Structure 1
Amino acid sequence: MGDKAPSLKRPHTQDRAVSPPPVKRRQTSTTTPKAVAEFFKPSSQKAQEPEKIGWTIVQESLLIGTYQASTATPLAESHGPRRLAIFDLDGTLITPASGNKFGRDASDWKWWNSGVPTTLRELHEKGYLVAIVSNQSGINLNSKAADKAPKTDNKRLETFKSKATAILSQLDLPISIYAATAKDEFRKPRPGMWRQLLDSNDLGGPGKVDMAKSFFVGDAGGRPATSGSKKKDFSCSDRDFAANIGIPFFTPEEYFLGEEPKPFVRDFDPTEYLGQGAGATTDAVSQFSEKKNPVDVVLFCGSPGAGKSSFFWRHLKPLGYERVNQDTLKTRDRCLKVAAEHLAEGVSVVVDNTNADAETRAHWVKLAQKHKVPIRCVLFTAPAKLCEHNDAVRALSASEQLNPEQRSMLPKLAFTSFVSRFRQPTKDEGFQELVEVDFVFEGDDAARETWGQFWIS
């Protein structure tokens, strides 16, 4: 038989000198009643950690998010001009993780290239002020229209804020993001976001920014499609934005990957119209250097923004013509009535409307025939892109010289509608003569500089 297994029973001793089992010690709780109450609170009532990104709104259209970094070294104080590194957001710093053209939600994004975060941190460490500027459509910041705005507008706003917070949190750098939500002076290529960036960082005024060493990176560079899989850029607005500011421009491929610059094209370049001298076409102006008839009707025909009103004020108002304009009088019948009153008093009339088709022009031919006065037609030949540019400069430049009538910006439909309705006028419609006027910029040096910038994408 083998040895017996040892007993687990406490051995018996005569003196019973065995220590008693240990007494259970009471653990002192560190949980306070306040902590317990906080634990059972609904999430909506719990104390929230302070947001790392603060949001402000400028003129109810520009959204600015400023991130408070927790670990990054503060931007060193500069003793000379500040260098700025500015980036577009979508298609430049990030791209949809899903592969879709647009992100599905706030989490549908990834870095455009794995080296993007490192590059931005290196720029910060070198003393660059890093900022993001982005056009963001579909977000409504107008407080007066907030109640009437579609729910999708509010959702897009929250989605954008959540996405921006996630992006900046990963970088953990003191970066501000500027989002232009309306088609106003802040929308690229217009330089409004640049001016606000300078103002926010106390960099306004000469000599405060090193323009040569600052730069802007964006994917809207006007590059055409290639024989490979590369699609054409949707616009040239990022390149034009940098040109308006006067700083170097790079595409993401050039800046992050070191690729050579690719060819690009612009659909419209206003500088092409600045080398044609001052004033309207010489032949056209000579037609209106003096009155051709004692009393007559001059009918304008041309797109919004083609220069019709400016031509009236410079060349026909001094000759005693009265202007009839449907933007002011609201209806064609009202315009016809006012024009008839002037003609009855022996006063010549300019009809400053688009008058795109023969049917519309026929109303004015009949009016002139009724009052037994000649009618002349002035055709303004400016193409649609030039007219859109003129309209944007007029409405957004804050120049009294360029917008003496304080007109608001027109929707794109105003220009496309004219193009679809336009029929070339002919003398056979009943005109004494037909004069064509090509647009040429008129204005002083300050107005010329403003007009020569890029205002449309």
Structure 2
Amino acid sequence: MVHPAKPVKRKQSTLDAPVSPPPLRRKVQSTTTPNAVASFFTPTSQKPPEKIIWQERAPNDDTPSTLLVGKYEAAHDSVPALNQLEDKKQKVAAFDFDSTLIETASGKKFASDSQDWKWWHPSVPATLRKLYLEDGYKLVVISNQGGVSLKPDTKAPKAHTSKVASFKAKVSAVFNQLDLPISIYAATEKDLYRKPRTGMWTELLDDYDIQPDLEQCIFVGDAGGRHADGGKPKDFSCSDRNFAQNVGIKFQTPEEFFLQEPPRPFTRTLEPSDYLPDSAAEATTPFTKKQDLDVVILCGSPGAGKSTFYWKQLEPLGYARVNQDILKTKRDRCIKVAGEYLKEGKSVVIDNTNADAEVRGKWVELAAKHSVPIRCVWFTAAPQICEHNNVVRALNNAMNPEERTILPTIAFRTFSSRYKQPKLSEGFQDITEIDFKFDGTEAERAIWLRHWT
């Protein structure tokens, strides 16, 4: 029977930086048993109750549940010596769900209901049985399920309940047909559980209480960043490949793993290592204070490094900071606060995005009113690295002293649509250009170098 969901709170943890393992060699043989065939053709009404336990988990004690976990217990007559087998398994074969193990039977991009599925390829169930029964692997599904939400929907409670129920029913149908011990981890929000982030991997290691041999583990998924080739479309993302690299295990696409097709060329949207400085000096751009009293305005996207620049370079020079997010107020109030600092004889830094000349003009007017020069520090980081920094900051407490939350994608699009490069003609004494390079401790660097978006 299907047990009711049990909320379980989990605290965030981080993994050590991974090392990529050598490739594995695999042969696919049919291992379908008579019991599995009989189960396939048995009407649902005549089958025994399914054995799947569901839980809902949260990243920590203070947040709602966002991870859905299901554990299927196979019938003992279909898996010989079940307990003995399980005790010896220290290798993990993990798979994405949609477009990897299954696809829609209707041909639609998204399933119309819980019955709209078929195996991605006829060889999939036999391959999984061989992995479990002969090769000694634990089987796990690790999937992003953004269309399923565990948050109560007060406006449409029935629709919300039906989406969760439909997903559980589809998973149960797939696992019932496979009839092997297998678990699924489904991330429903853009938090630490969502691939390529490693939260789901951490959960499964806790659940199984193992430290597997990473060189023998594998993750199979369709989001490999592949280019369009031979009539095949490009992949929608590289999140599966990046996830495997984050946890340090081998990655293959379904075509490579199940069909033994050769790999296709791929490209990652972002390589964090490209933004490491060649030297300690390159990580920072020294800023010199030219006047006893002045205004410095920062200009750049969220996540471009503005606040870090303030704390490491401007705060030690005695600049008072005005930030609209920190003050939790409107721009007019920020202008008033900045004016009060100037009256007290304190130089001021305006730590906001300041995307266009109209907004920047308000601060030029303030500086003119107080007869002080105004300088601009311009941050040129590309959108991809800004979004990466945004997530790293929000999901790692040690790197988030101001407790910022993840900004939605629209925040970056809004900035991009408004952005105009700052010019000296706007009234600035000078403009200092900052190209982003990571600047942090070795521990922070290990975290930052992972794939987060």
Matches within 5 A, 1:239-318: 239-278=241-280, 284-285=285-286, 287-288=287-288, 291-318=289-316
2:164 matched residue in structure 1: 157
Distance 1:174 1:79, change over 3 A: closer
CA distance in 1, matches of 2:247, 2:307: 30
Q: Secondary structure, in 3 states, of the residue corresponding to 1:261?
A: coil
CA distance in 2, matches of 1:75, 1:451: 40
CA distance in 1, matches of 2:177, 2:85: 24
1:375 matched residue in structure 2: 374
CA distance in 2, matches of 1:185, 1:164: 23
CA distance in 2, matches of 1:83, 1:131: 11
Instruction: Provide Cα deviations, 1:324-360, integer angstroms capped at 9, x if missing partner.
Output: 0000222101110100000011100000000000000
Q: Name the amino acid aligned to 2:393.
A: R
Q: CA deviation at 1:139?
A: 1.9
CA distance in 2, matches of 1:161, 1:49: 17
Q: Is the 8 A contact 1:281 1:437 kept in 2?
A: no
Q: Does 1:216 align with 2:216?
A: no
Q: Does 1:320 align with 2:314?
A: no
Q: CA deviation at 1:388?
A: 0.2
The counterpart of 1:411, out of the listed 408, 411, 425, is: 408
Gaps of 5+ in 2: 1-46, 59-64
Distance 1:332 1:109, change over 3 A: same
Q: CA deviation at 1:159?
A: 1.1
Matches within 5 A, 1:433-444: 433-444=430-441
Distance 1:316 1:82, change over 3 A: same
Q: Name the amino acid aligned to 1:349.
A: V
1:366 matched residue in structure 2: 365
Q: CA deviation at 1:223?
A: 0.5
Q: CA deviation at 1:229?
A: 2.1
Instruction: Provide Cα deviations, 1:211-267, integer angstroms capped at 9, x if missing partner.
Output: 1111000000110111x3200000000000000000000000100001111111011
CA distance in 2, matches of 1:156, 1:278: 51
2:138 matched residue in structure 1: 129
Q: Does 1:94 align with 2:92?
A: no
Instruction: Provide Cα deviations, 1:292-324, integer angstroms capped at 9, x if missing partner.
Output: 111000000000000000000000101111000
Q: Secondary structure, in 3 states, of the residue corresponding to 1:414?
A: helix
Q: Secondary structure, in 3 states, of the residue corresponding to 2:214?
A: coil
1:391 matched residue in structure 2: 390
Deviates more, 1:130-139 or 1:366-375: 130-139
Q: CA deviation at 1:281?
A: 5.7
Q: Is the 8 A contact 1:75 1:127 kept in 2?
A: no
TM-score normalized with structure 2 length: 0.84
Instruction: Provide Cα deviations, 1:48-104, integer angstroms capped at 9, x if missing partner.
Output: 975511100110000000111113231545787711000000010001011111111
Q: Does 1:105 align with 2:113?
A: yes
Distance 1:83 1:429, change over 3 A: same
Instruction: Provide Cα deviations, 1:126-175, integer angstroms capped at 9, x if missing partner.
Output: 32100000000122213xx4435664332221111010000000011110
CA distance in 1, matches of 2:121, 2:50: 27
Q: Secondary structure, in 3 states, of the residue corresponding to 2:215?
A: coil
1:61 matched residue in structure 2: 66
Q: Is the 8 A contact 2:283 2:438 kept in 1?
A: no
Q: Does 1:448 align with 2:452?
A: no
Q: Name the amino acid aligned to 1:175.
A: I
2:30 matched residue in structure 1: none
CA distance in 1, matches of 2:181, 2:358: 61
Distance 1:179 1:308, change over 3 A: same
CA distance in 2, matches of 1:234, 1:302: 28
Q: Name the amino acid aligned to 2:140.
A: A
Q: CA deviation at 1:439?
A: 0.9
Q: CA deviation at 1:192?
A: 0.7
CA distance in 2, matches of 1:280, 1:350: 23
Q: Is the 8 A contact 2:91 2:216 kept in 1?
A: yes
Q: Is the 8 A contact 2:89 2:138 kept in 1?
A: no
CA distance in 1, matches of 2:160, 2:197: 23
Q: Secondary structure, in 3 states, of the residue corresponding to 1:317?
A: helix
Q: CA deviation at 1:393?
A: 0.4
CA distance in 1, matches of 2:87, 2:246: 26
2:44 matched residue in structure 1: none
Q: Is the 8 A contact 1:324 1:352 kept in 2?
A: yes
Q: Does 1:346 align with 2:355?
A: no
Instruction: Provide Cα deviations, 1:379-430, integer angstroms capped at 9, x if missing partner.
Output: 00111010000000000133x1x21111111000011110110000001000
Percent identity, please.
54
Q: Is the 8 A contact 1:302 1:356 kept in 2?
A: yes
CA distance in 1, matches of 2:271, 2:265: 16
CA distance in 1, matches of 2:419, 2:139: 48
Q: Count residues in correspondence.
A: 396
Matches within 5 A, 1:74-89: 74=82, 76-77=84-85, 82-89=90-97
CA distance in 2, matches of 1:382, 1:165: 45
Q: CA deviation at 1:280?
A: 5.8
Distance 1:81 1:166, change over 3 A: closer
CA distance in 2, matches of 1:322, 1:280: 26
Distance 1:275 1:343, change over 3 A: closer
The counterpart of 2:237, out of the listed 225, 235, 238, is: 235
Q: Is the 8 A contact 1:278 1:440 kept in 2?
A: no
Q: Does 1:119 align with 2:117?
A: no
CA distance in 2, matches of 1:327, 1:247: 40
1:421 matched residue in structure 2: 418
CA distance in 1, matches of 2:386, 2:185: 29
Q: Name the amino acid aligned to 1:376.
A: R
Q: CA RMSD in A?
A: 1.7
Q: Is the 8 A contact 1:168 1:175 kept in 2?
A: yes
